[in-house]
Amino acid sequence: MTPPVGRGAAIFGCAGPHLAPAEARFFREADPFGFILFARNCESPEQIRGLTAALRDAVGRAAPILIDEEGGRVSRLPRGVGRRLPPPLDAVRAAGGRAADMMRLRYRVIAAELQSLGIDVNCAPLADIATPRTHPFLRDRCHGTTAQEVAANARAVAEGLFAGGVLPVLKHIPGHGRAEADSHLALPRVQEPACTLRETDFAPFAALADLPLGMTAHVVFADLDERPATTSPAVIRLIREEIGFGGLLMTDDISMQALEGSVARRAADAIAAGCDVVLHCNGALREMEAVAEAAGTMGEAARARGARALALRRAADAPVDIRALEAKLGAVPGGFGDG
């Protein structure tokens, strides 16, 4: 049976740890594809489970609920709810030849945590390649320094999440690793020729193009277009036709300062460029109302891609002993931090 897909071409956050009546009314009307949680929304297991249930109740279906839970610096779950893990790049380096095994275990543990909270989509893996000049906001979040290493480790991340009943989101398509600016604050520009990018930065994404969900990069690839990838028809076409990504394509957070104009303008431009849904994360209700209107409803092709992605949701492969998983992960160099 095809899972129901929301009408609205958006994924929204909410303001706090509990769903406000005004938010619930808005979500009921806008019927977004899904929701995303941040640290401001997460206090305790019981509270998180209550919030995920309330969000789904607001739209009357099992809407996907996303989170960025990479371990390392990007961890939305509070201490005592989520494990404290070393940054992915540090863990990969420590694990050496066992990096893929370690990443698979690491994300199987994360998936078990998320599933227990009612969260069924994780914004990982990154297939961005770390370089010496990658901005610090991204560098230690990467899964390697070569296309081959990144593709292997990112595939292991996806496998660990799938095994735990959580859908992965491939990011940041078509590659954020050469960005020397933080796209939360400014628009990065990549000057390398497209032929170089195809052989390096774009290659891991092509290797992972079968994944069901993906997220764009707010990065200008000057040899392709002067517009950021998120709002560039030329880059979205490359993502679809050359990289071969056939899954549901969401924007990175539309409220990040890499993009110009109002959030409504950004949302409209992203949909016009070929993104399927707009991701808006800050939970500001007036902004969400503007984004919902500008993004409109999901087109037929986008709805089909969304339905195919959601059809892959399933229970974990088998009940797991989380302590046994932790013990396995702890036995691999780089598996755990000190938290």
Nearest to 145 by CA among 193, 93, 101: 93
Cβ neighbors of 161 (< 8 A, separation 6 or more) are 107, 108, 110, 111, 122, 124, 167, 168
Catalytic residue among 57, 101, 182, 184: 184
Query: Is residue 184 annotated as part of the catalytic site, yes or no?
Result: yes
| Catalytic residue from among 252, 253, 269, 276 | 252
User: Catalytic residues, which ones?
Assistant: 184, 252
